[in-house]
Structure 1
């Protein structure tokens, strides 16, 4: 199995899309954002899918999209924060690529997502509570899947990309030995 794909995982607001675009340029690989791919394939935006099909309907679409994209090989993919919830998705990510966990604090997530109305799970009275609960469930899953973990709080996207590149070099050196 090839590990040429780079899969970025982590909570919403961790910077997966921004960092993914920069990383794809650095690696000279195409960049895909799973949420944008789902929207393009379905002709509907994520909030609409959540409203009409619920989270389960969205997760089914996400799995189908991942099944297609992982076979492309040689892509940088920013996943949605909840992509790791389904066992099938976890298997796809760990089998077909190197998994990079962009770890970030709830405070940083709040700062980065406060004005974003396209995040259905945050359209609640207490987004901090939602983010805290999501991280308590998803955090251990992110950690278990990660080949590389980078803490993003207070770092520039370019700085995070540099750290990822260094870690990828180390992984390749370790695998070569």
Structure 2
């Protein structure tokens, strides 16, 4: 398959966990843009605090551009879809929206590493609601991940890819 497989969705939807397994199964490289940014610039929470969200979003765009230059499974940050430039980059690839619900996320993710909800977990739903239409508009495939076995999710994605 040409291009990348791009995983989008809210924080805690399984982009990293599922992305690693999907990439391994498909024999592709796995790229997690948030992990790359954190690896080179320090914790994302600290970046938000010290340099602001706009600075982080600039980094995110440049890492996304680089990640999409090769066939790979690319996990984006939950807010990567907020920028028009990122939407343009992402839309040229097979985009999978990993959907979930607050009940499957809150209590399961490390809140200290989630700057947008760390002090108010109920914000997850507000953020989800605000981004939902963009996730849906970009997606060529939607997979609900909440509480579902990874093997079934991988098969559903493979079916959607036609492989």
Query: Structure 1 residue 127 and structure 2 residue 121: aligned?
Result: yes
Q: Contact 1:19–1:158 at 8 Å: present in 2 too? A: no
Listed one character per residue, the Cα deviations across residues 136-156 of structure 1 (whole Å, up to 9, x for unaligned) are 111110000000000112201
Q: Gaps spanning 5+ residues in structure 1: where?
A: 171-177
| Displaced runs of 4 or more, over 3 A | none
Q: Contact 2:100–2:145 at 8 Å: present in 1 too? A: yes
Query: Structure 1 residue 146 and structure 2 residue 139: aligned?
Result: yes
Listed one character per residue, the Cα deviations across residues 117-175 of structure 1 (whole Å, up to 9, x for unaligned) are 11111221x312x11110111111000000000011220122211110111107xxxxx
Q: Contact 1:15–1:157 at 8 Å: present in 2 too? A: no
TM-score (norm 1): 0.87
- Paired with 2:140 and 2:2, the residues of 1 have a C-alpha distance of 11
Equivalent residue, structure 2, for 1:174: none
- Paired with 2:20 and 2:115, the residues of 1 have a C-alpha distance of 23
Equivalent residue, structure 2, for 1:68: 66
- Paired with 2:37 and 2:113, the residues of 1 have a C-alpha distance of 14
TM-score (norm 2): 0.95
- Paired with 1:127 and 1:116, the residues of 2 have a C-alpha distance of 8
Equivalent residue, structure 2, for 1:173: none
Q: How many residues align?
A: 163
Q: Contact 1:35–1:79 at 8 Å: present in 2 too? A: yes
Larger C-alpha radius of gyration, 1 or 2?
A: 1
Listed one character per residue, the Cα deviations across residues 73-102 of structure 1 (whole Å, up to 9, x for unaligned) are 21101100000000000000012x200000
Instruction: Report 1:6-17 matches (<5 A).
Output: 6-17=5-16
SS in 2 for 1:111: coil
